[in-house]
Structures are given as structure tokens and as C-alpha cells.
Amino acid sequence: MADLKGALIGCGFFAVNQMHGWRDAEGARIVSICDRDPERLRAVGDEFGITRRYLSVDDLFADGGFDFVDIATTVGSHRSLVELAARHGIATICQKPIAPTMEDAEAMVEACAKAGVPFMVHENFRWQSPIRAVKAAIDSGTVGEVFWGRVSFRSGYDVFSGQPYLATGKRFIIEDLGIHALDVARYIFGDATAVTARTRRVNPAIAGEDVATMLLDHEGAITSIVDCSYATRLPIEPFPETLIEVDGSKGTLRLSQGYHLTMHSKDGTKVTNVEPPVLSWAAPPWHNIQESVSRIQQHWVEALRAGREPDTSGLDNLETFALVEASYLSAAEGRTVSLAEVI
């Protein structure tokens, strides 16, 4: 079967990982790239040997010649680009966060549904192999019925040097990083019905919040804590590891720093190393995230070919984005917010 042909829009900081992932993907390749910044367009085009380069998305779509687009621009442009792709009947991947507002996110999902085009949000954290290992361990039944959990990302890593725009937005950690942790909580503990959140800013040099703690009520009477911080200085910097705790009726699971997965039940305690592989193009400590980029892209190719909805489809991602919106509302008003209020 012929490879699917893709066009990448946005050749910035993170897109380089996506280009590496596409180079390794089975059944798909990138044939065109677009960025309004000529220097970034040139750098990515030269590194990956892509000759069809566009400074304008209108020119990119006018020329066509691809089966899907991979949108790797920042959030402000996501709605217009997804709607443009839908108007051209082109299957679309869009980076997280899906949109700046719920209204935009819902409009994007509707535009793709009306046009009949597949739409996936590049929500890659749930594709990290250590997180998959936690889910598989729960599904094996060893810890019994899950009643409590925690998804935690605490770091002092300087994310602002690679992504300076993160220091300037009114919203920071929930929208940028917490969104991944909230999606992982949904993936592991199921959909949430309500959230209670607290936020604060520790770093005076940024505009948004850099610490957030969310208490989630999940369907099935599971409670989870999702906590994230970019103001936490630890003896060994854990970036970019997501740590997970799960308590069940028959035992416990702990994904701890250094990618150790500890499963404890009446049968004993088993510790497994679940560190992801370092792909040929990857560089620790980013290898964890980089591997998940490859995995979600391969999932997209398989879903597109099979005509199946991808796991993190736009529709699915509305539930994750609703948690972001509900968390900000809860923190602003100091109350528990039901998801039904925002979706």
C-alpha cells in the first residue's frame, strides 16, 4: 500500500521531534512543510530533505498533494488552521492544547465532523511507554478495583529558554503541561465529573501560574490528584517524567522517578524498569516524550488506514480540554466545578 502523504504546518521548537517521528513512521511520510518564518522553514526543510516548502498555508493547500496535515503551531492559530484543513477535506492532526477556549475547541470538532474528516489532537503523554505499563498493570487485575490515584509532574526545569512564549501567557502550567497530566488521569482512571483546583505563581518573571493542584472526581467513585509544578527544585531533576500512584482494593502501583514501576499485592512486591527506549534521534531526558511522539504518529497512520477514530480524537480531547477550563474556573472562584458547566 502506498505511503500516506503528510504536510507539516509550523516548523518550530517541537515540530523537529514530529519530523523525526514521521521519518521513522511506517506507512506515512511528510512531503510538504509550511512556516511563515523563512529561517525555520529553511532549517527544517534542509535537515529533513523536504523540497516543497511554503511560507503561506493558502499556497500549501492550493498546491495540495497530501492526505493529511500535522499542525504544530501554537494555540492561537489552531482553530483557523483546522477549519481551513476541514474546508479542503483533509484529515488533520493538531497539537495540544486544542484551542484557547471551549467554544473554539467545539467549533473545530464540529467543522471536522461536518466535513467528514478525521481529526486527532496530538496528545502524546498517554502514549509514553511507562504510562502504558501502568495501564496494562491495572488491566491485569493485580491491584484489584482502583479507588484512588495521583498523576504528578513536579520540576524546576527551565522550559522558557526553548519556548519563550510560555512566560508571557496569562495561562501557563495547566494549559501547557497540566493538560497532559489531566489527559493521563482520564486515560488511567476514566472520565472525570468534577474538579477542584488551586493555582499559584512562584516565579515572578512569568505571567501565568506555575503551580497547580487539581482534585478530580471520576466516574466509578475514583478520586485522583493531578499536581504539576515548574517551581520545584529537587535533588535529582525529574523532567520530564510523570509519576503515578494507584491504590486498589488488592494492592498498589507506583511509577516512581527513574522509571521504576512497583506493583504490590498479597503475592508480593515486583519492581520493573519501564524506562522508554532512546530512539536513534532522541536525546535524554527528552527521550520519554520523543518516543511518545513516534507512537502517537504510528497510531494515527493505523487509525486513518483502518477508518477508525483515533484514541485522542478531537471529540475525545474535548473532555480533556474541559478539565483545563474547569480547573481555571475552579481556581478563580475557589469552588468545585462540575464538568457539565464547561462542556
* Interface positions with ligand NAD (CB under 6 A): 9-15, 34-37, 40, 57, 72-75, 77, 95-96, 122, 124, 163, 165, 176, 289
Which residues are registered as beta bridge partners of 34?
A: 9, 54
Least Cβ distance, residue 164 to ligand NAD (angstroms): 8
95-128 b/e (C-beta count within 10 Å ≥ 16 → b): bbbbbbebebbbebbebbeebebbbbbbbbbbbb
Nearest distance in Å: CB 259, ligand NAD: 17
Smallest separation, CB 18 to ligand NAD (Å): 9
Nearer to ligand NAD, 207 or 221 (CB): 207
What is the smallest separation between the CB atom of 178 and ligand NAD, expressed in angstroms?
12
Closest CB to ligand NAD: residue number: 12
Shortest distance, CB of residue 170 to ligand NAD, whole angstroms?
A: 15
Closer of 218 and 295 to ligand NAD (Cβ): 295
Query: What is the layout of strands, in order, in the sheet containing 260-265?
Result: 268-273, 260-265, 251-256, 243-248, 146-154, 222-229, 211-218, 192-200, 337-338
Angle, vertex CA 26, rays to CA 25 and CA 28, nearest 5: 75
Q: Which CB sits closer to ligand NAD, 163 or 273?
A: 163
Between 72 and 244, name the residue whose CB sits nearer to ligand NAD.
72
- With a CB cutoff of 8 Å and minimum separation 6, the contacts of 217 are 192, 193, 194, 195, 223
Question: Measured from the CB of residue 11, what is the shortest distance to ligand NAD in angstroms?
Answer: 5
Closer Cβ to ligand NAD, 69 or 117, answer by number = 69
Residue with smaller CB distance to ligand NAD, 7 or 146: 7
Which one, of 113, 106, 107, 108, lies nearest residue 94 by Cα? 108
Q: What angle do CA 169, 197, 145 make, to 5 degrees?
A: 125
